[in-house]
Amino acid sequence: MKQLPPEDEDRIDAFTEHLWLHHGSSENTQAAYRSDLRRFCEYLLPKKTPLLDVDELTLQDYLLWRRTQGLSPRSTSRFLSSAKKFFQFAVKQQWLAHDPTAKLKRPKLPQSIPHSLSEADVENLLQAPETDTPIGLRDRTMLEVLYATGLRVTELVRLQYDQVSRQQGLVRVVGKGDKERLVPLGEEALEWLERYLKHGRPALTDKQSPWVFVTKRGSLLTRQAFWYRLRHYAETAGIYAHLSPHTLRHAFATHLLNHGADLRVLQLLLGHSDLSTTQIYTQVARERLQALHAQHHPRG
């Protein structure tokens, strides 16, 4: 990683701190913005151009350079989002008089269908952990809760006792931008959660902590550690499809739609602020309907 001018580092630090203090942005979001801005600053180093001296032409040159490097339109769109937010912040701080990104438009992105799993694959994945061990019981419970609720992985690993109402069978989730939502657990996930809290968690640690899912040392299970466990269980279950940290979240959404869930309800369960974000799943459901029609209709 190249050494940036101290003033550029300071500006980026102030910006990411602002994201956390005023917008409740997650550590992952802050890291993404920081990475985008640092990479831009590294591009500016040979030109000896400080970040606050950037104009629209410099930004356009950088966007063209990104294209010649084979960087995807999606990553370029993310950079522009980072740059726009940074320079808007810079204007508010009176570091700049004008925002150089004001007239720049993000590249149009093709809608990508989230990778999901079949219901049979999910069932095999859920059964992969060995539940006669505390770790296996914990992992089975995490997979069950994830598939039952559609939580983001970060929301799952940071789940606290006071967010779970076992009596009502609900989880109170604090998502992006500190927005709260209530999500039903379902009978199966609730049964596994009761079993884990009674037998699994006490066997893992006797330390007092607010976290539902913990390591053997009683510490918070990290997002990366859970992702490693997920891949391990996918291999155990013989699942070689593309996996991401959101695989079970996508499966949750897709399977709900396939079984007739309303898109607005799905939006609430997933915690999407904009319905357009949820509508990507309708394409998955539409393909399923077309396949069923072709299979069963006399003239399909």
Q: Which residues are catalytic?
A: 152, 176, 246, 249, 272, 281
How many CB atoms are closer than 10 A to CB 96? Answer: 16
Residue 48 burial class via C-beta count within 10 angstroms: exposed 0-12, middle 13-18, buried 19 and up: exposed
Report the residue count for the chain.
300
**Rounded distance, CA 155 to CA 180, Å?**
11
Contact 154, 245 (CB under 8 A): no
Q: How far apart are the first and last CA of the chain?
A: 57
Residue 176 burial class via C-beta count within 10 angstroms: exposed 0-12, middle 13-18, buried 19 and up: middle
What is the strand order of the sheet 180-184 is part of? 164-165, 170-174, 180-184
The continuous run of DSSP H or E covering 165 comes out as strand 164-165
Contact 33, 16 (CB under 8 A): yes
CA distances from 296 to 120, 188, 261, 284, 290 (A): 21, 32, 22, 19, 10
Nearest-5° Cα angle at 136, 135 to 140: 120
**Rounded distance, CA 296 to CA 300, Å?**
7
Residue type, 11: R
Contact 228, 222 (CB under 8 A): no
Q: Map residue 116 onto helix, strand or coil.
A: coil
